[in-house]
Structure 1
């Protein structure tokens, strides 16, 4: 489904270059929930954002279903990104649009017919349990409801992959559990491939099938999650799990 091949990302600045990713490689299977975990600044969010080229790699290749995204031009990349949904820590909803209109936005951009948009919006809101909020504005929603709207918007275009960048970090423990349940449900019902960047072990235990551990822009090791547990072999991995 996704192959990351020898990807590096370097940022240039007045005081010298900073290498955010250092020759990382991993692959994500279709229908898998894959975690990118590590402390703040480890490179996990940058790695996630390379998967749809929101961050363009300095070197290396990103393959989605065998297609090298790095070689796509801007127009081709816009079409590819319709297959990739994304959610963020702070929801990114438009305050002046209702819940339904927020979910409809990517469909409007993609040129869907109005009648098809209305049907699909309700389908997506049903999937996240928020049909009754379709006419509400974001200011009237709880944090968990806002994130569920963001999830509904991210799946509106029938994506094959959902990228999630710290999607539960801004939520209280109870609401966090509701969002994880929602993502688990979507993964099972839609066979939706999910890649999630997180520093929260609760997310790893409940959601992920495999994880890569990041430090200083490098992958230290990649592990299977078995019965909600991972068993790192590196000293960094052991310390990371202990500190989470």
Structure 2
């Protein structure tokens, strides 16, 4: 499904440069939930955002369904992104649009006709259990409801891959569980491949099949998650799992 191969990324600022990713590589299988974990600034979110080229890597290759995305032009990448949904920590909903209109937005951009958009919006809202909120505005929703709208919007165009960047960090503990359950349900019902960047071990233990531990822009180690348990072999990995 996804092969990230020797990706590096440097940020340049006045009189300074930051090496955010250093030659990272990992593979994600179809239907898998894959975690990128680490402390703030470790590189996990940057790695996630290189997959759909929100961050353009300086070097390396990213293969999606066999195609090397590095070789795509901007027009081709727009089509690729239609197969990738993305959700963010702070929802990124449009305040002046209803729930239904927010979910419809990517379908309008993709050129769907109005009848099909209306049908698909209802389907997506049913999947995230928000059918009764279709005419509400984001300001009238809880944090968990806003994130579920964002998830519905992300899956509207039938993506093969969902990228989730710290999707539970802005939520209270009870609501975090709702969102984790929602993502896990979509993974099972739709065979939706999910890559999630997080620093929360509750998320990792509940939803991930495998994880890569990031430190200083590098992958420190990659682990299987069995029945909610992961057993790092390195001293840093063990300390990180205890701390998070």
Alignment TM-score, normalising by the size of structure 2: 0.99
Structure 1 position 146 matched with structure 2 position 146 = yes
| Aligned position for 1:30 | 30
| Aligned position for 1:5 | 5
Matches of 1:12 and 1:91, distance apart in 2: 28
Give CA deviations for 1:88-111 in whole Å, capped at 9, x if unaligned. Answer: 000000000000000000000000
Pairwise CA RMSD of aligned residues?
Answer: 0.5
| Aligned position for 1:93 | 93
Question: Alignment partner of 2:14: what SS?
Answer: coil
Matches of 1:14 and 1:178, distance apart in 2: 42
Matches of 1:225 and 1:209, distance apart in 2: 5
Question: Alignment partner of 2:158: what SS?
Answer: coil
Matches of 1:194 and 1:213, distance apart in 2: 16
Matches of 1:239 and 1:180, distance apart in 2: 24
Unaligned runs of 5+ in 1: none
| Aligned position for 2:237 | 237
Structure 1 position 19 matched with structure 2 position 23 = no
Alignment TM-score, normalising by the size of structure 1: 0.99
Range moving further from structure 2, 105-114 or 11-20: 11-20
Matches within 5 A, 1:55-204: 55-204=55-204
Matches of 2:150 and 2:48, distance apart in 1: 17
Residue correspondences, number = 244
Q: Could you tell me how far 1:15 is from its partner in structure 2?
A: 1.9
Matches of 2:35 and 2:217, distance apart in 1: 15
Unaligned runs of 5+ in 2: none
Matches of 1:18 and 1:242, distance apart in 2: 28
Matches of 2:48 and 2:212, distance apart in 1: 12
Matches of 2:112 and 2:197, distance apart in 1: 31
